């Protein structure tokens, strides 16, 4: 497969500013380089692993010395000052951490993003790759190589520390952790049927010495300190943000939907994840302290299974158990366990990286299914006590503010109009609620998209969210790969970037008719000599 790339930014050299001139339509090749102020692409590159041919037709862009004119020399800024990042592939580094997968393609992609005017890229760093074989034995080489590539191109880097595993691509937890889990499965989240979720550790073991005599928090701390030391040359300069993994998929939540089959097309309400022996022990203790020991024998008995809708059992129905004293007791405890876990890990990250000049982030989920009902069951099973009677995101925002961390919210590309019928889903209303809570507590927000396919309505929805008040200051688009650079997607993405970069000029800054004529003449001359094919 061969795919083409279209760029639509401008390259101009002024006294100190580099803006981008029109790139036009081209095929991408590897070895993009800048020689004598020309942007050049050369050579062919094949992504053998993916069976994809990724090419760029050579491109030369002549610099234009910018003339002093009122208004036209002003820098473009993204909508409301929002910075745009692009996520790198989840498997950018090999499982042995000794090499990079598709390194030449990533290098060419970084240069293309730089030409578009993107602020930087996001890099997932996996616990299961770096500390794969033994506790305290770290190998950062593959990730350091990417950081050097990013620095060389002149982009910024946002790092995500992933203390969870991934099924696609397959990236498990460290081998030594999984081996412990084979003999002590209680270190994992467990549902009512006894099924274990083995992609991350249960929050109930945060402070228990279950990892060869150390607690998970101690292991995370050592990991963060090793990262900080190994990447010190990049901290605060190339690396400007660090996202702390907080649970499944890096999000602050319980794995309430993990039991759904991969081909499931209907969204149930999920299941509570409070049945590992440590969670049950904490629940029992809390019930006894509250004077209701019988409430601590287990989770709610009248709840649906993963794929069942809200009304299949009594708990989430209007007037159901969730509105009883017992329901409030359990849901408060369940949500507070998650909140305490998030507070613990964000505090760890904030203190570890306090002197590095980077910003610490944490990600929450967007559990928008069933949002239009009174009980909000999808949020309740995920650990957010948010109902028609209770705002579950105010305490979350307050926790982020207490740790001086920024919040990542996914799903900025989702609209209410495109949701499945019958699930009462409302991503737009949920995002608005979360952002209001963040605004109330002075927490800045970073947005992400969910869909891998950049449909036009998705880009429009992102732009709509970025145009809100100034709570949101960074957006990360997921994710670089073969489809990202395909002719079906990349032209739309470049247009999206162009729209975000549109400068808003005051009427006094607009060029005069004479200046417009001069500008038009210059552009006409440039277009005749600027773009050359190899």
Question: pLDDT of 255-305, one tens digit each?
Answer: 998 765 544 455 789 999 999 999 999 999 999 999 999 999 999 999 999
Residue 46 has pLDDT above 90, yes or no: no
Tens of pLDDT along 317-372? 999 999 999 999 999 999 999 999 999 999 999 999 999 999 999 999 999 999 99
| CA 309 distance to own-chain centroid | 28
- Pick the more confident residue, 172 or 2: 172
Model pLDDT, residue 343: 98
> How much of the chain exceeds pLDDT 90, in percent?
67
Whether the predicted pLDDT of 505 surpasses 50 = no
Closest CA to 74 of 514, 509, 526, 498: 509
The strand pair at 33-35 and 38-40 is best described as antiparallel
Q: Residue 456: exposed, middle, or buried by beta-carbon count in 10 A (0-12, 13-18, 19+)?
A: exposed
The torsion defined by the Cα of 202, 207, 213 and 219, in degrees rounded to 10, comes to 80
Residues 6+ apart with CB under 8 A from 379: 367, 370, 371, 385, 386, 392
What confidence score (pLDDT) does residue 44 get?
38
CA dist 311 and 373 (Å) reads 11
Q: Is 38 exposed, middle or buried (0-12, 13-18, 19+ CB in 10 A)?
A: middle
Q: pTM of this prediction?
A: 0.82
Contact (Cβ atoms closer than 8 angstroms) between residue 70 and residue 509: yes
Q: Helix 325-352 vs helix 216-230: angle between axes, to the nearest 10 degrees?
A: 30
Q: Tell me, what's the pLDDT at 383?
A: 98
How deeply is 518 buried, as exposed, middle or buried, from its count of CB atoms within 10 A (0-12, 13-18, 19+)?
Answer: middle
Q: Between the CA of residue 492 and those of 338, 457, 460, 486, 495, what are the distances in Å?
A: 39, 11, 11, 10, 5
Domains, the chain: 83-501 (3.20.20.80)
At residue 398, does pLDDT exceed 90?
Answer: yes
Using an 8 Å Cβ cutoff, are 28 and 485 in contact?
A: yes
Q: Name the phi and psi angles at 47, rounded to 5.
A: -95, 85
pLDDT at 184: 96
Q: How far, rounded to the nearest angstrom, does the alpha carbon of residue 41 sit from its chain's CA centroid?
A: 30
Which distant-in-sequence residues (6+ apart) come within 8 Å of 381 by Cβ?
Answer: 254, 256, 269, 270, 271, 272, 273, 303
């Amino acid at each position: 497969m061969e795919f083409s790339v279209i760029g639509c930014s401008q390259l101009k050299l002024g006294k100190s500013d580099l803006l981008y001139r029109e790139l036009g339509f081209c095929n991408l090749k590897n070895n993009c380089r800048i020689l004598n102020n020309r942007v050049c692409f050369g050579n062919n590159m094949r992504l053998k692993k993916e069976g994809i041919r990724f090419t760029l037709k050579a491109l030369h862009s002549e610099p234009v010395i910018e003339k002093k004119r009122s208004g036209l020399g002003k820098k473009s800024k993204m909508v409301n000052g929002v910075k745009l990042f692009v996520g790198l592939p989840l498997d950018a580094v090999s499982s042995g951490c000794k090499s990079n997968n598709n390194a030449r393609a990533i290098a060419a992609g970084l240069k293309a993003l730089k030409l578009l005017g993107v602020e930087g890229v996001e890099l997932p760093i996996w616990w299961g790759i770096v500390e794969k074989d033994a506790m305290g034995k770290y190998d950062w080489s593959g990730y350091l190589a990417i950081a050097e590539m990013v620095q060389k191109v002149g982009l910024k880097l946002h790092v995500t520390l992933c203390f969870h595993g991934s099924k696609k691509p397959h990236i498990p937890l460290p081998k030594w952790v999984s081996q412990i889990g084979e003999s002590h499965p209680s270190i994992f989240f467990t549902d009512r049927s006894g099924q274990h979720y083995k992609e991350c550790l249960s929050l109930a073991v945060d402070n228990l010495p279950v990892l060869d005599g150390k607690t998970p928090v101690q292991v995370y701390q050592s990991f963060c300190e090793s990262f900080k030391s190994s990447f010190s040359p990049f901290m605060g300069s190339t690396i400007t943000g660090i996202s702390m993994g907080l649970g499944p998929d890096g999000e602050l939540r319980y794995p309430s939907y993990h039991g759904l089959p991969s081909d499931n097309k209907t969204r149930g309400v999920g299941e509570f994840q409070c049945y590992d022996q440590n969670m049950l022990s904490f629940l029992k203790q809390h019930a006894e302290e509250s004077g209701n020991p019988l409430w601590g024998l287990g989770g709610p008995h009248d709840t649906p299974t993963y794929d069942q809708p809200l009304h299949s059992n009594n708990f989430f129905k209007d007037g159901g158990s969730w509105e009883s004293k017992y329901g409030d007791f359990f849901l408060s405890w369940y949500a507070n366990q998650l909140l305490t876990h998030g507070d613990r890990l964000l505090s760890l990250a904030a203190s570890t990286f306090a002197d590095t000049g980077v910003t610490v982030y944490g990600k929450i989920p967007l559990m928008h299914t069933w949002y239009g009902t009174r009980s909000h069951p999808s949020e309740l099973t995920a650990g957010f006590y948010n109902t028609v009677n209770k705002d579950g995101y105010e305490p979350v925002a307050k926790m982020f503010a207490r740790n001086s961390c920024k919040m990542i919210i996914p799903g900025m590309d989702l609209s209410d109009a495109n949701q499945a019928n019958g699930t009462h889903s409302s991503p737009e209303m949920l995002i608005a609620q979360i952002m209001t809570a963040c605004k109330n507590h002075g927490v800045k927000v970073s947005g992400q998209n969910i869909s891998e396919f950049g449909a036009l309505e998705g880009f429009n929805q992102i732009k709509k969210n970025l145009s809100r008040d100034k709570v949101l200051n960074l957006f990360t688009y997921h994710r670089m790969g073969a489809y990202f650079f395909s002719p079906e997607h990349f032209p739309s993405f470049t247009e999206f970037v162009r729209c975000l970069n549109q400068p808003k000029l005051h009427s006094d800054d607009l060029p005069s008719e004479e200046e417009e004529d001069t500008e038009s003449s210059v552009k006409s001359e440039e277009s005749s000599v600027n773009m050359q094919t190899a």
